[in-house]
Structure 1
Amino acid sequence: MSKAVIIFGSPSKTSRLTSVIQYAQEVLQASGMQTEWINVADLPAEDLILARFDSPSIVQANALVEQADAILIASPVYKASYTGVLKTFLDLIPQRGLADKLILPIFMGGTMAHLLSIDYSLKPVLSALAARYMLGGVYIVDSEVTRNEQGSIELSEAIKGRLDDSLRQFVEETAWYSQRGKSRGQ
C-alpha cells in the first residue's frame, strides 16, 4: 500500500482549503492509499521559527515525510506565494528530504492572477529539497469553493473534476513510482 503525507500549510483549520484537502484525503484513502496529515500550524511555533531540527515534533513530522511515497502540499496563497508557516516547515526538511517522492501541490487563492504561484514560488524550493517528480498541481480560486446553508463546503463541478483527475494521476503514478523504486532495490 502506498503512503502519502499531506503537508497542510494553512494557518486556519476551518478554511475552505481544509475542506478541499479533506475531500482529497477521502479520495486517496478510497483508492487504497494510506494517508498521514501534517498540519504545520499545529507544530510548535518556536521550533519552526528557531529552526529546531531536533525538536521531537519536527523529527516526527520529518519521519512521516521520509516514510511517504508521495507528498500532497496544500497552501492558501498570500501575497502571490504560499504561507510563511509552510515555508518554515519546508526549511526544516533535510536537504534531500523529498528525493524519490511524487509531489502534488494544491493551492487556493483569491484570484487567477496567482495561478503560477505553484510554479514560481513552490517548485523551486521543492527542487532544492531534491524533488524531481512533481505533478502540475491544482490551483483553485476560492470563489469556486462555497459554503452552503448547512455550513458544509461545496466544490464547483469544474474544481471537483480537476481535483479528481489530479488525484487519480497522483494515485496511479505513486503506485508506478514506488514500484519502480522497489524494483531498483530502494
Structure 2
Amino acid sequence: MATVLSVSGSPSPTSRTGRLLRELDARLTGQGHEVIPLDVRTIPAEALLHADFRHPAIVEATALFERADGVVVGTPVYKAAYSGLLKSLLDLLPQYALAGKTVLPLATGGSHAHVLAIDYALRPVLASMGPAHITPGWFTLDKDITVGDDGTVTVAPGSAEALAQVTDQFSAALGGRTTLLAATG
C-alpha cells in the first residue's frame, strides 16, 4: 500500500500526542501501510534552532517527507497553536515538501478552547506546502487519553471512534492516491 510518515511535534518523550500517534500508526500498519514514525524532539535542537539545512538529521527528515505518500502530523496545542518544535521543522523543509501527498492533521490539548487550532493554525501552513489533499483532522482532549502503568494507551470511546474514522478516511485517501500513481507510473 502506501508509505506514511507519522510526525509527532511534541517536545515530551511521554506525551499523549506521541502515544496517540503510535496507536494510529498501528491501525494504519494493520491496514497494510508502511508507517515511519518521526519524533521531531529527536532532531538535535541546534540543527532546528540554527536552521542548519545541511545537518544530517534535517537532511534525513527531508528525505523521509519526500519518500512518504502520506503524512500524519500530530501536535499538542500550546497558546492556541501547534508546537514551536513542529514549526521549527516545518520551516526547514522545502516549500513544497508535501506536494502530491495526503495529509492528516491531529492535535491534542487540555481544553475545548483549542479545538480550532487545527483549522486556523496548522492547516494553513500544511496547505501552503502543496499537499494533494488534507483529510479531516481531529482534536483530542488530553483527559480522553489515559496511559496505564504498563504503557497501554486508552482513548475515551467518543474520541476513539472519531479517531478511527479520520484515520480510516486518511487510509482510504491514500489507497486512491497509490492506485492513481500506479496507473500513471
Given the two structures, how large is their TM-score scaled by the length of structure 1?
0.94
Q: 5+ residue gaps in structure 2?
A: none
Superposition RMSD in Å:
1.3
| Aligned partner letter, 2:74 | A
Alpha-carbon distance in 1 for matches of 2:169, 2:116: 20
Secondary structure at the aligned position of 1:6 is classed as: strand
Partner of 2:120: 120
C-alpha contact 1:4 1:68 (8 A) present in aligned 2: yes
Alpha-carbon distance in 2 for matches of 1:113, 1:137: 16
| Aligned partner letter, 1:4 | V
The Cα shift of 1:151 comes to 5.4
| Superposition pairs of residues 123-162 of structure 1, within 5 angstroms | 123-148=123-148, 152-162=152-162
Alpha-carbon distance in 2 for matches of 1:43, 1:151: 24
| Aligned partner letter, 1:21 | L
Alpha-carbon distance in 2 for matches of 1:25, 1:33: 9
Partner of 1:100: 100
Given the two structures, how large is their TM-score scaled by the length of structure 2?
0.95
Partner of 1:91: 91
Alpha-carbon distance in 2 for matches of 1:86, 1:151: 24
C-alpha contact 2:127 2:134 (8 A) present in aligned 1: no
Structure 1 residues 51 and 150: alpha-carbon distance in aligned structure 2, compared to 1, 3 A threshold: closer
| Aligned partner letter, 1:47 | A
| Aligned partner letter, 1:116 | L
C-alpha contact 1:93 1:129 (8 A) present in aligned 2: no
The number of equivalent residue pairs is 185
- Pair 1:165 & 2:165 matched: yes
Alpha-carbon distance in 2 for matches of 1:140, 1:82: 13
Deviations 1:66-97 (A, max 9, x none): 01000000000000001000000000110111
